[in-house]
Amino acid sequence: MQLDYTPCLPKKLHILTPPETYPYATLSTTFDNLTLPNLVELFIESSPLSEYIDEPNFPVNDSFIPLLDRSRSLSNKQHFHITHLSLINVSIPDHELLSILALLPLLSHFVIGDVYYHTRAKNEEEEDEEDHAERLSEMDKDSTMLSQSFFHALLSYDPGIALGLRELHVGLGRLK
């Protein structure tokens, strides 16, 4: 069988995007060029850039899911064996995050965090309360910041996702 890509065999991978680049493009290029059939632990941290904090920065359908599919097919396993997934400063709508979690049935440890969540949530533009509440509601629709609707969807989307998790770590805002 002729491969168009070279598999990489680590069991653990940390990806950190450089601060001077747009994370979506960097991650997309990285995912497009990797195949990881032995991967068990994946840690992705996007360097937050204030000019990009309101834009999606994680190429779920364009590159990440194809990476998972490629890696799983090369591993000759029915399921991809990722047990640990950490997503820091990545912006993924809830429905896309749920689709990733559904592809990882052996996931037992999940970490998600966003140091700029509170920056986006602040009312610095002197909005009236109604406009601010509407903006926060819109922000929650596209956020992975584990809103109440995310947890509700997690259980109704695929109960198997939540049942396999042994650890869930959530971080919102910058640690001091």
Report the predicted TM-score, pTM, of the whole model to 2 decimal places.
0.77
Residues 10 and 41 sit within 8 Å (Cβ to Cβ): no
d(CA 73, CA 87): 23
pLDDT band for 13, please (50, 70, 90 cuts): very high
Please name which of 41, 163, 173, 38 lies closest in space to residue 105, comparing C-alpha atoms.
163
How many other C-beta atoms are found inside a 10 Å radius of the C-beta of residue 169? 10
% of residues, the chain, pLDDT over 90: 16
Q: For the ranges 54-58, 116-120, 152-156, which has the lowest average pLDDT?
A: 116-120
167-172 β-sheet, strand order = 12-16, 41-45, 84-88, 109-114, 167-172
pLDDT digits (tens, 9 = 90+) for 81-131: 899 999 988 878 777 888 888 888 889 999 988 766 555 555 566 777 777
- For 46-144, list the strands marked E by DSSP: 84-88, 109-114
